[in-house]
Structure 1
């Protein structure tokens, strides 16, 4: 397993779903973790992520963080100072819902932009400021296959994830010479509490049939598989990987 011993990671949206699994995976690999989220309790229920990490012998703290507010992101990165300073920033927090393009209005679009784009922009910014004053670091942005493949009634979501992908490339170019690597993950359909609520087919017989017929690996992904991709990009095992978008979708984007 890739190791993060001696590092400190900030994970936005770390209370639930993919973010929760990333926090646990990073902690198991030796990282101290700042769980930054608008909620402390997991969406799927259970023990708060930071408490779970501590119960398993790791070090973690929770920070209430609305990623649409730059000051909250500053607080999350500041919390990492108690562990020694931020080495890894995972901009995972995001919102996802389907809405017919002709029905999207300004308030709904602005919410997508505030969380999915502004949150990644300023999350990267506040982390980069700290990383520039140290020995560099790794920024991992959560994009989506929706940034490169049409997802039907998810135009507003696709728009924001396209912005995340483009931003990742730009930041990789901007900070590569400072030892700050910036990469993205593009998940396909992953079985989380959010997708089970917001994607009607997930967790149903119809969904399983869709997966068998449409995804080369014949199943949806798991949060553990996304977390392992994040671990690779965060660690020195990807030391020469910069400006990459790692697709984690069972092969559906390019072969399905």
Structure 2
């Protein structure tokens, strides 16, 4: 039997109580990583056992929950500090984010600031804090969650596209800054993934408009959180030891077929 891909490593995952982050936490734990769930809430939006309790029930890995508002730098410090309980941080996944659909001409300053604070500021300081710790410890992997909306513009999601485009460029810059210290930084660009974000917050999946989107996806199915988790597992593991400053698109071919 082959050795687990993340054996002996510790991952901090923001927004890991629900959706893509929850799936990443479970997948990483199955591959040997201890997990720090950093989220504003511990209850999964989809229901069920909290992630930090589920991980030790399902795997041999340990897990801890840290209440974390990613717009607050000190909360991110606490999350990275919590990894010391398991030997120190090896993987940082800046996953927490929000999605919004809007009329560009009606976006308020408060709405703009909220989205930028969570999607961009949270990712920036998550990478900064974790990257400094990893560099001191000899290396690690930072994974930032961008979106296909960070690759091209959409008239209905201008602020979201702006934030996720910023995450993409941030990823490239951090990869250049921390690469010499053995820290790899990469971005994942999910397409339409079936989570509460796309079924409740901004309903797309399960709507008539969503059915039209589906016809533009060559794989002819909605993405699942496990699809994103598997991509993150690759980037977190030594299989991607020479992958740095890259954008991994997980969208069933949608962005290249339009």
Q: Same fold (TM over 0.5)?
A: yes
CA distance in 1, matches of 2:213, 2:90: 40
1:202 to 180, 205, 214: 205
Which residue in 2 is equivalent to 1:226?
228
Report deviation, 1:132: 1.4
1:74 to 74, 77, 92: 77
Which residue in 2 is equivalent to 1:113?
116
CA distance in 1, matches of 2:115, 2:204: 22
Which residue in 1 is equivalent to 2:19?
17
Which residue in 1 is equivalent to 2:5?
3
Which residue in 2 is equivalent to 1:129?
132
CA 1:201–1:128: 2 relative to 1, 3 Å: closer
TM-score by length of 1: 0.97
CA distance in 1, matches of 2:104, 2:13: 31
CA distance in 1, matches of 2:172, 2:97: 19
**Is 2:94–2:126's contact at 8 Å kept on the other side of the alignment?**
yes
TM-score by length of 2: 0.96
Aligned length: 255
CA distance in 2, matches of 1:217, 1:89: 30
Structure 2 unaligned regions, length at least 5: none
Which residue in 2 is equivalent to 1:244?
246
Report deviation, 1:4: 0.3
Summarize deviations over 1:146-172 as a string: whole Å, max 9, x none.
011223311001000000000000011
- The 5 A counterparts of 1:1-256 are 3-57=5-59, 58-204=61-207, 207-211=210-214, 213-256=215-258
CA distance in 2, matches of 1:9, 1:20: 12
**Is 1:32–1:59's contact at 8 Å kept on the other side of the alignment?**
yes
Report deviation, 1:206: 5.4
Summarize deviations over 1:64-90 as a string: whole Å, max 9, x none.
000000000000000000000000000
**Is 2:216–2:257's contact at 8 Å kept on the other side of the alignment?**
no
Displaced runs of 4 or more, over 2 A:
198-201, 203-210
Summarize deviations over 1:113-164 as a string: whole Å, max 9, x none.
1100000000001101111111200000000000112233110010000000
**Is 2:99–2:202's contact at 8 Å kept on the other side of the alignment?**
no
CA distance in 2, matches of 1:209, 1:86: 42
Structure 1 unaligned regions, length at least 5: none
**Is 1:208–1:219's contact at 8 Å kept on the other side of the alignment?**
no
